[in-house]
Amino acid sequence: MKVSLLDITDDALYKIGFYSSVCYDSNVEREACIRRAKHVAQKGHLACLRFATATFKIEDISRVCSHQMVRSKHLDFLQRSQRYVEETDPKFVYPTSDTDSRVSALYQAAYTLYKDLLKEGIKREDARFVLPNGGTTELVVTGNFQAWLDFIKLRADKHAQWEIRDVAKEINNILSGHAPGLFNWMP
């Protein structure tokens, strides 16, 4: 799994605090704005966090994980297409509970069938039906800070599935470096 920050609102804490000053008829000096941004987040005025955004590229996660991600309705997604992109060099994610070679054998058999179907002239959009959910994919995901905070709180939780939890923790770590005081939530 690899998570890369592609874009983020410059000086996000200041901008959140500056924009939210209208709610409170407040001081717009830089340090006051930064304090306000942290304060509104701590007090639950999360609508203010919608005025900063971040975009990530997430690579080498399973389609199982990507299906969990796209359920976050306030984030927006672009995903590698198995309809338009031929899977010529498949990589797979293995469940942590896999203690034998059955999953690996199944993955390889499915990929062999996929290649055979393509050779027979079956369209990629139809051949992809045999590819396993453990095959890797990549996404570009964008959202405002409120949406990211919601995603992190839900998916970094100890009860979340291990792969999505790892993604959420990595996103939290990256965002906490850019907006300290907002993204320091960890289970």
Active site residues: 155
Tell me the three state secondary structure of residue 87: coil
- Alpha carbon distance 59, 79 (integer Å): 10
3-state SS assignment for residue 62: strand
Integer Cα distance of 1 and 36 in angstroms: 35
98 secondary structure, DSSP code: -
Six-digit token string for 133: 């959910």
Measured CA to CA, the distance from residue 70 to residue 79 in angstroms comes to 10
